[in-house]
Amino acid sequence: MNFRKALYLLFKSEQKTDYLIISIMLFSVFLVFFWTAIQQHFAIAGNIREGDTALRNYAINRNFKYINEIETEKLKNEALAKSRPVYDVYETKNISITEQCDDLFDYLDSLSGNNMPVSEAKYQFDKVFTNLRLSVESFETMYNNYKLNLFPARVRTIISTILECGYIQTFTHTRTNIDSIIVQYITTGEKTRQVKKISDIITESGLKNFILNYISLNFPVLTAGRRQAMADIVYGLIGQNLQYNLAATRQAEEESIAGVSTVYNELKKGAIIVKEGEILTKEKLLLLKKYSQIASINYPALCGDGLFFLAWFLVSLVFIFGSIEKIQKKKGSMLILCLQTVFIAVFFYLSGHTEFFAWLTAHIPSGYIIPFIFPVLTVYYIFGIQFTMAYTLIISIFSSFFVPVGQLNTFFSLLLSGFIIIRTAAKLKRRYSIWRAGGYNMLALFLLLFIQFLLEGWELPVFFKALAICAAVNITGITLVMSFLPLIELYLNLPTIFRLYELSDLNDPLFKELQLKAPGTYHHSMIVGTLAESAAKEIGENPLLARVGAYYHDIGKMDIPEYFIENQIDSDNRHDALEPTLSISIIKSHIKRGIELARNNRLPGMVIDIIHQHHGTTLIRYFYNRLQADQEKNRNLSKEDCSYPGPKPKSKIAAIVFLADTVEAATRSLRAPSPARIRSNIDKLVLERITESELSECGLTFSDIQRVKESFILVLTGIFHSRIEYPETETGDIQQRELT
């Protein structure tokens, strides 16, 4: 597909959505790559970290004024430490507590005026003042003496003193390094503030002691009983009048921080930030990063990278559009492709921005820390070998932009790794054999590391550490493949070689069910599988997919096997008692039922396509001829009514199964199948299918068809060749051939 056609399809109405989504996804991936790659242009310090030794002098080439963030932050912390939490005191709360005290003594007056006994008076008192749980002794003392010695006035004095000091059950601010708070007095339409020491504020834990000490100091003439009664009354009446104001506290903190002036430092042109051999401190590293943001952008290199990535984006876009049919058939495949590409970009990004990956790249080149086997094998099993080779080349070129100029080991390591993985992937047959592909890949990378060891003169400990990291990365990649490939197979319903081998197992539940319910169809499918596999191998198609497609192409016959000739073990034909039109419907139904069974059992989409297309639009000739015998009755029926619904085979493998199914059934019906008769029969059947245009949409060339026919002839001649009829002896035993 050329670029002009790709652009045409991009704006073609029925293709617009798919192409637009692919373009956006691909562009997003390239942005991730581009952003990761250009980070090297924004830092004169590269990947150096705190504690590293500077390998050269870092000097500035212009006057540089910068914010001293460390000193500024220090001043802000000092200002924050001086700010105080804010607590509110509402005047209405103080009045409420005082009024409750007045109500108490007024009520005592009313009880006393009625000459009520102490016990009855306490009962009535407790009903009104439910929050004041006085003991019998304290109530009796209060009841008998509250008019003496200024008892009510002294209680009011104690309460006023507590409210003036401020009472709170417990402080709720989070900072612990403060010794005072701001008390904000709120009256009607007015707020006043006062700073108070925390030690002067009364809390719940010290309230009782404060009351008793106050009474002892200020009213020493009182008896112990009166002191206790007075303390119990105050303790019951008092309530907290301080409330933490979080919003005002935060505002005070922000105002304190806002009042701090930013500290600026200035360096003159030529000043050395870090000298060679100096240990990088946090302050020096921060200064280097600040200077790199304004002074180290290599604009020509940045533009060059941008143009390069744009060019490769366009090339990749055309390449992806050229494979649009594969992508459209496998919904979600583009998402997997983009995620795998981002997976690689993220590894490169992490290598320069995290301590662990920076440690890895300090001991081994960047290209070796990517578990490349994971994205390559995933793309291979989705798109095939040609697409994956191009993908590997593109990714290898992109990845070379993440390393300093002149270091091509990343490009070569990824390219070699990708091609070896692709080469070995074609020979994998079981999931555990992925470890073999990983082993070959590991050996190749070991060889590259050994060459680098010789060229750069690494020390042996460094070399062995690099080998260990390389091995660990490869094992990680293989583990990722083993973990995620089955999930991707399930998500995309892919016919990977592993899935196909599982389906080709004769003990597969669906295939086993076919063997039990329709043994004739099972045997027929086995022979068709052999024919299809041989023919697919002959023309360079996937022989395993052809065999699996042939195995399952007739699974729709399981529900009513007795209506298909290969399963009729006696001479009675069920169709003899049916109308030809009903027989045609029954014969056709096995395709629809086969598709349903395949979907219910999660067979790959390509296998379902083979089931759908294995009869094309061919005429069900036997029953059509029966209908033709009674034209008066069936004159409204057309050939289309007596033909399979299609579609015609759309792929080479579907066409191979279609032809194999045809020639196997016809060859089985030959009375004396000699090689010449088998060849003649196959030639006639294939020519009929070509004449009927059944092979017009599958992509088979005449050369392919000829090789397919030769393959069929070879296999069928071996299966249906004539045998010698051995004479019987007088006893009825078969005469054995002489061995000499």
Cα gap 230→237, rounded to integer Å: 11
Question: How confident is residue 422, by pLDDT bands cut at 50, 70 and 90?
Answer: confident
| The most confident of 54-63, 347-356, 425-434, by mean pLDDT | 425-434
pLDDT at 702: 92
**Would strands 167-168 and 202-203 be described as parallel, antiparallel, or unpaired?**
parallel
**Does residue 300 have a cis peptide bond before it, meaning omega lies within 30 degrees of 0?**
no
Q: Tell me: the pLDDT tens digits for 104-121?
A: 888 877 777 677 777 888
For residue 167, which of 66, 227, 80, 240 has the smallest C-alpha distance?
240
Contact by Cβ (8 Å): 403, 410: yes
Q: Tell me: the pLDDT tens digits for 494-505?
A: 788 888 888 888
For residue 415, which of 438, 396, 401 has the smallest C-alpha distance?
396
State the DSSP code for 558. S
Residue holding tokens 């070959």?
440
Percent of the chain with pLDDT over 70: 77
Within 8 A by CB and 6+ apart from 368, the residues are 413, 445, 449, 466, 469, 470, 473
**Would strands 264-267 and 86-90 be described as parallel, antiparallel, or unpaired?**
unpaired
Cα gap 677→720, rounded to integer Å: 11
Rounded alpha-carbon distances, angstroms, from residue 459 to 292, 442, 453: 33, 21, 8
Q: Tell me: the pLDDT tens digits for 9-26?
A: 444 444 455 556 556 666
DSSP lists the bridge partners of residue 193 as 184
Residue holding tokens 């550490």?
465
Residue holding tokens 């004769």?
506
Q: Tell me: the pLDDT tens digits for 361-378?
A: 667 777 777 888 888 888
φ/ψ of 276, rounded to 5, equals -60, 130
CATH code of domain 498-720:
1.10.3210
**Would strands 58-59 and 242-244 be described as parallel, antiparallel, or unpaired?**
unpaired
Neighbouring CB atoms inside 10 A of 330's CB total 18
**Would strands 190-197 and 264-267 be described as parallel, antiparallel, or unpaired?**
unpaired
| The most confident of 19-23, 261-265, 295-299, 635-639, by mean pLDDT | 261-265
| The most confident of 107-121, 186-200, 327-341, by mean pLDDT | 186-200
Cα gap 422→10, rounded to integer Å: 31
What residue spans define the domains of the chain?
3-43+302-494, 82-255, 498-720
pTM of the model: 0.56
Tokens found for residue 543: 């022989």
Within 8 A by CB and 6+ apart from 47, the residues are 351, 352, 358, 361
